[in-house]
């Protein structure tokens, strides 16, 4: 069983026979902690806060549909807060909650004695009463409880569990904190079921567990007790989970078997290198972006893939031909308009208009993957296109409004996008688009570079297989990717981290060499290091040259002045991206940090600015310098 279910129910099984003996799984694997339950995250957070207190601050009503864990939550609270010699718990079963006589003869005397007499003997004493299926209380029984809830509130708390909140009168509700426990998300239910299967020694992949869960609920979450009962019956009858009768909507192209992520990325990387001449880190970034396109709905950010070249015949069109086979649901164009872009994403249904595009409850493929070629001929000529493209970078803002039938309606722009253009200057790719992009500099293939022949009239079967495997891997790891928090290089600014975070999450989930390989590609393609990994050394030597070539021979320079001089150097990569912050990040490994400098403003007044002193660079230059900052 996969470790993906490590937070599931803690109860262990009976040696791995999968039968669970004569005990039903719902009772055998009832969670002992809030963390072990399948809950909506907001409910989990609220309950966790309650458990941090020494005792309940208020009476509680836990309401929701059957099987969502109301009784389990009440038991966890009782065991966590009222399990001591100074506490006592009275559980009132559902079969006895209807009669006012039972309340008067059994419950009220218990509250009176423990809330009154014992309180004088032990000031630390407290008690808890749990009513199961409290909506069964008769109106007379509910009226009989109103005053005691207030009278003994300093010593006793009451928890009501009910499927029907309307079954409790307003007087009781006003004296309680009401917690609504709706059906937990499907991925929470699958995680919970996975933990039970692991405890029972039943082998099942995350994909199989998820498929069984979704099939049981029919596309919506619901009764966890019924889910565990069905799973136990399936194991007893068939020896395994029966998932063959279910297919995920939209994933019909997925490979039928689980896929090794690291091996798949190796194959994707090799495919790009087979057909294209790419810079260092280029094939790696492309392989990860293809996987991003398939798992797109798991992420909060959607970096644009921007293939740029200084001239024609540099492989941009070939790249898009390869991507058109590897990416899901491709729409390929060489020109477009804003109206086309937002209509491709589609009109958001009216019942979703008020809520922005949030995390999806089930794995879904992207609506489409847009491959837009010839960007140099239309992108800058249509500024409104830039706004539509940029809006799709962040899930929560991935929409535009247009008037439909006299009313403002929302259109989605949330889908993977790739652009290709000739960039003879830095002006062809607009700065706002560049900032949201992963740049792949394309280049012409040398005649001596080996390459595979591409036939435009044939689709390489091996690439079709890779697309199917990418879909299957994305489906199996959807929830893992949605919750991933990959380690990001400190050198990146926030926007660059947003761009690379989905790719780094994919690399981390794939494992093998890919976390390190992705990090290296990230630093290279983000301009933090050059293709030999020595950009920091290059910067160090160029700073020395700036100091030595200045006619005034200064021994210190403010950061903004130094960066301005560096950006002015010809045949250097600093123009267009180096900032004082990035300069400081690159120099930090050498132990060099900007200082507070006193500088003359030219008006006989001094002020402090952050900057660098030449002597602070001497040790690093002695160890790493090239003598003259050779250029």
Look at residue 221 in the predicted model and tell me its pLDDT.
53
Write out pLDDT tens, residues 3-26: 343 334 434 344 344 444 457 898
Q: Between 348 and 491, name the one with better pLDDT.
A: 348
**Rounded Cα gap, residues 183 and 188, in angstroms:** 10
Look at residue 160 in the predicted model and tell me its pLDDT.
95
The mean pLDDT of the chain is 84
pLDDT higher than threshold 80 for residue 531: no
Q: Between 413 and 429, name the one with better pLDDT.
A: 413
Residue written as tokens 């020109």?
335
How is domain 535-624 classified at the CATH fold level? Arc Repressor Mutant, subunit A (1.10.10)
Cα dihedral 597/601/605/611 (nearest 10): -10
Look at residue 13 in the predicted model and tell me its pLDDT.
40
CB environment 89-124: b (16+ within 10 A), e (fewer): bbebeeeebebbebbeeebbebbeebbeeebeeeee
Q: Between 626 and 87, name the one with better pLDDT.
A: 87
Q: Between 293 and 209, name the one with better pLDDT.
A: 293
Q: Which range is least confidently modeled, 75-84, 384-393, 581-590?
A: 581-590
Domain residue limits, the chain: 3-9+11-23+185-238, 39-180, 261-524, 535-624
Look at residue 120 in the predicted model and tell me its pLDDT.
54
pLDDT higher than threshold 70 for residue 346: yes
Look at residue 2 in the predicted model and tell me its pLDDT.
37
Give, in words, the CATH class of 261-524.
alpha beta
Residue written as tokens 């019942």?
351
Write out pLDDT tens, residues 79-124: 988 888 778 899 988 765 578 888 998 899 988 887 665 545 566 6
Write out pLDDT tens, residues 28-75: 898 989 988 988 888 988 999 888 877 788 899 999 988 888 999 999
19-33, 94-108, 143-157, 284-298, range with greatest mean pLDDT: 284-298
Task: Please state which of the four CATH numbers 3.90.1150.10, 3.30.980.10, 3.40.50.80, 3.40.50.300 is assigned to the domain occupying 39-180.
Answer: 3.40.50.300
pLDDT tier at 601 (50, 70, 90 boundaries)? Answer: low
**Rounded Cα gap, residues 107 and 152, in angstroms:** 12
pLDDT higher than threshold 50 for residue 331: yes
Look at residue 15 in the predicted model and tell me its pLDDT.
39
Q: Between 216 and 617, name the one with better pLDDT.
A: 617
Residue % of the chain over a pLDDT of 90: 39
User: The tokens of 363 are what?
Assistant: 């794995």
Average pLDDT rounded to a whole number, residues 524-553: 79
**Rounded Cα gap, residues 130 and 89, in angstroms:** 8
Average pLDDT rounded to a whole number, residues 499-523: 96
Write out pLDDT tens, residues 354-380: 444 555 567 889 999 999 999 988 888
pLDDT higher than threshold 70 for residue 442: yes
39-180 and 261-524, same CATH topology: yes
Average pLDDT rounded to a whole number, residues 260-265: 97
Closest residue by Cα to residue 74 from 96, 52, 41, 51: 51
């Amino acid at each position: 069983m996969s470790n993906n279910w490590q937070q599931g129910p803690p109860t262990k099984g009976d040696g791995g026979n999968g039968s669970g003996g004569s005990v039903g799984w719902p009772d055998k694997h009832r969670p002992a902690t809030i963390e072990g339950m399948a809950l909506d995250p907001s409910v989990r957070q609220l309950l966790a806060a309650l458990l941090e207190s020494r005792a309940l601050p208020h009476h509680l009503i836990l309401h929701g549909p059957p099987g969502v864990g109301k009784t389990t939550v009440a038991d966890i609270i009782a065991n966590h807060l009222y399990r001591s010699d100074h506490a006592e718990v009275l559980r009132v079963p559902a079969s006895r909650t209807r009669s006012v006589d039972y309340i008067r003869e059994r419950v009220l005397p218990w509250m009176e004695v423990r809330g009154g007499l014992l309180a004088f003997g032990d000031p630390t004493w407290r008690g808890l009463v749990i009513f199961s299926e409290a909506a069964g209380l008769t109106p007379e029984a509910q009226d009989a409880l109103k005053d005691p809830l207030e009278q003994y509130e300093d010593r006793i708390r009451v928890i009501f569990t009910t499927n029907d909140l309307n079954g409790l009168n307003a007087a009781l509700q006003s004296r309680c904190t009401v917690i609504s426990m709706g059906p937990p998300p499907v991925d929470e239910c699958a995680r919970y079921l996975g933990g039970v299967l692991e405890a029972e020694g039943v082998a099942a992949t995350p994909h199989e567990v998820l498929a069984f869960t979704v099939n049981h609920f029919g596309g919506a979450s619901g009764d966890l007790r019924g889910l565990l009962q069905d799973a136990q019956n399936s194991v007893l009858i068939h020896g395994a989970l029966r998932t063959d009768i279910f297919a995920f909507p939209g994933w019909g192209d997925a490979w039928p078997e689980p896929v090794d992520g690291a091996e798949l990325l190796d194959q994707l990387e090799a495919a790009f290198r087979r057909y294209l001449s790419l810079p260092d880190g280029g094939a790696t970034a492309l392989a990860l972006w293809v996987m991003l396109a398939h798992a797109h709905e798991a992420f909060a950010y959607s970096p644009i893939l921007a293939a740029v070249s200084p001239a024609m015949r540099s492989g941009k069109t070939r790249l898009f031909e390869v991507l058109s086979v590897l990416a899901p649901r491709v729409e390929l164009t060489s020109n477009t308009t804003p109206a086309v872009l937002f209509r491709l994403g589609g009109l958001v249904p009216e019942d979703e208009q008020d809520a922005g595009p949030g995390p999806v409850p089930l794995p879904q493929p992207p609506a489409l993957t847009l491959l837009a070629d010839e960007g140099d001929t239309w992108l800058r000529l249509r500024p409104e296109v830039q706004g539509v493209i940029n809006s799709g970078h962040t899930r929560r803002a991935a929409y535009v409004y247009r008037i439909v039938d006299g009313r403002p309606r929302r259109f989605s722009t949330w889908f993977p996008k790739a652009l290709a253009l000739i960039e003879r200057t830095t002006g062809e790719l607009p700065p706002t688009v560049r900032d949201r992009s992963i740049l792949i500099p394309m280049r012409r293939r040398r005649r001596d570079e080996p390459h595979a022949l591409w036939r435009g009239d044939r689709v390489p079967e091996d690439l079709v297989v890779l697309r199917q495997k990418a879909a299957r891997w994305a489906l199996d790891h959807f929830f893992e990717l949605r919750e991933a928090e990959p380690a990001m290089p400190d050198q990146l600014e926030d926007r660059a981290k947003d761009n690379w975070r989905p790719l780094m999450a994919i690399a981390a989930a794939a494992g093998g060499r890919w976390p390190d390989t992705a990090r290296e590609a990230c630093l290279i393609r983000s301009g933090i290091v050059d293709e030999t990994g020595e950009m920091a050394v290059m910067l160090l030597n160029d700073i020395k040259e700036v100091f030595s070539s200045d006619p005034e021979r200064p021994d210190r320079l403010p950061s903004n002045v130094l960066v301005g001089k560096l950006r002015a150097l010809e045949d250097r990569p600093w123009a267009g991206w180096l900032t004082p912050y990035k300069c400081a990040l690159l120099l930090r490994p050498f132990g060099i940090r900007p200082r507070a400098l006193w500088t003359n403003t030219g008006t006989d007044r001094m002020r402090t600015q952050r900057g660098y002193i030449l002597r602070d660079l001497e040790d690093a230059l002695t160890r790493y310098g090239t003598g003259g900052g050779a250029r």
